[in-house]
Amino acid sequence: METRHIEAFLAIADELHFGRAAARLHLTQPSLSQQLKRLERHLGVELVSRTSRVVQLTPAGEAFRADARRILGEVHSATNTVRDIAAGRMGKINIGFNGRAGQLIMPRSLAQLHANYPNITTKLTSGRSGPQLTALTRGELDVGLLYGGASNGGSVLSRCLLQMRIGALVGQGHRWADRSSISIRELAETPCVLFNREVSPAMYDAIMTAGERAGAFPKVAEYMNDSVATGITVAARRYVGFASFVSMDEPRPMGLKVVPLVDPEPVVELQVAWRVDSPNEVVQVFLDSLDSTKNFLQSTISGKVYGEPLAS
């Protein structure tokens, strides 16, 4: 049974006139009659009774009419669905993001994605950069928004969305709270709270590379991977933490403040990463929405962009 045969039958059923039905389908009457005969032959029943004056449906034709419409509708729906999936207009995407991406990138990008492609569903997972790279490699994420570039033997691609500065995170009572900047060498003189490298390799390396260039490394008093716990520790014990930022003019929890690090200034890239061999066509659609957000951020960044305690 071919869909064109069903379409021919439905046109005849609607028009009850072979000439009008043929014109509606842009066919000749003999071609229309042939398609009807093939459908009747396939079903083994007569669907249309035709005389020189009257065209009408047989009881079998009346019964088949509703099912024919349903069949044709389901075929068209299935066709549109698979075409949308193949074009990335429909489907599901698993997106990982760190804290900074959650603040700066995700709200606008997701709003645009869902406005343009309402049939795409998203699963969102907040996570640190290191674990995101692992999840990408395992196929647990389709896309990750994280710090640093891809380093998985070529299986993951990435590109930069935004360059972030790295500053010293201090409490309001800390002696550095009113400073305009802090040199990297000074970090060797005060207790610091740092995260383990596997949590955020790119940010960790940026801090350590700056220390190596300055000839002095941070005096690490504790390693702490939880950003909230880090903020509490910095506020309560007057330790120094680390935070990425693009602007200093922003409210922060617990009265915390970010002071720029200099001589040299450590920086880290907020990037989007995805698998080279991903079969998910929605990935490219999401990457396009990220490009729009990236352009928006680069043209509007001001003192309203927020930093976040610790690397994510």
Q: Over the stretch 196-231, which tens digit does the pLDDT of each residue have?
A: 999 999 999 999 999 999 999 999 999 999 989 999
Answer whether residue 312 is part of any domain: no
165 and 233: one domain?
Answer: yes
Answer whether residue 112 is part of any domain: yes
Half-sphere exposure of 16 (CA within 13 A, CB side): 8
Residue 276 has pLDDT above 50, yes or no: yes
CATH code, 48? 1.10.10.10
Question: What is the rounded average pLDDT for all residues in the chain?
Answer: 87
Residue 297 has pLDDT above 60, yes or no: yes
Predicted confidence at residue 312, as pLDDT, reads 43
Q: Cα separations (Å) of 189 from 9, 68, 220?
A: 87, 81, 10
**CA–CA gap between residue 123 and residue 228 (Å, rounded):** 24
Total number of domains constituting the chain: 2
Answer whether residue 307 is part of any domain: no
Q: Which of 69, 87, 105 is the last residue of a domain?
A: 87
26 and 155: one domain?
Answer: no
Q: Place 307 in a pLDDT band, splitting at 50, 70 and 90.
A: very low
Predicted confidence at residue 91, as pLDDT, reads 84
Predicted confidence at residue 90, as pLDDT, reads 60
Predicted confidence at residue 258, as pLDDT, reads 94
136 and 31: one domain?
Answer: no
Q: Place 150 in a pLDDT band, splitting at 50, 70 and 90.
A: low
Q: Which of 57, 87, 117 is the last residue of a domain?
A: 87
140 and 74: one domain?
Answer: no
209 and 294: one domain?
Answer: yes
39 and 119: one domain?
Answer: no
Residue 302 has pLDDT above 60, yes or no: no
SS3 sequence of 87-137? HCCCEEEEEEECHHHHHHCHHHHHHHHHHHCCCEEEEEEECCHHHHHHHHH
pLDDT average, residue stretch 156-179: 93
129 and 270: one domain?
Answer: yes
Predicted confidence at residue 305, as pLDDT, reads 41
266 and 294: one domain?
Answer: yes
Closest CA to 156 of 183, 130, 176, 182: 130
Return the residue matching tokens 């729009």: 292
pLDDT average, residue stretch 120-126: 93
Closest CA to 125 of 144, 105, 112: 144
Answer whether residue 310 is part of any domain: no
Q: Over the stretch 228-240, which tens digit does the pLDDT of each residue have?
A: 999 999 999 989 9
Answer whether residue 308 is part of any domain: no
Answer whether residue 257 is part of any domain: yes
Predicted confidence at residue 73, as pLDDT, reads 83
125 and 78: one domain?
Answer: no
Q: Which of 67, 87, 107 is the last residue of a domain?
A: 87
Answer whether residue 311 is part of any domain: no
pLDDT average, residue stretch 120-127: 93
109 and 241: one domain?
Answer: yes
CATH code, 128? 3.40.190.290
Predicted confidence at residue 194, as pLDDT, reads 97
Question: What 3-state DSSP class applies to 277?
Answer: coil
215 and 255: one domain?
Answer: yes
DSSP 195: -
Domain containing 53: what range? 3-87
Q: Over the stretch 74-122, which tens digit does the pLDDT of each residue have?
A: 877 776 666 766 666 668 999 999 988 998 899 999 998 988 888 889 9
Answer whether residue 138 is part of any domain: yes
Cβ-based neighbour number of residue 311 at 10 Å: 33
231 and 107: one domain?
Answer: yes
Residue 152 has pLDDT above 90, yes or no: no
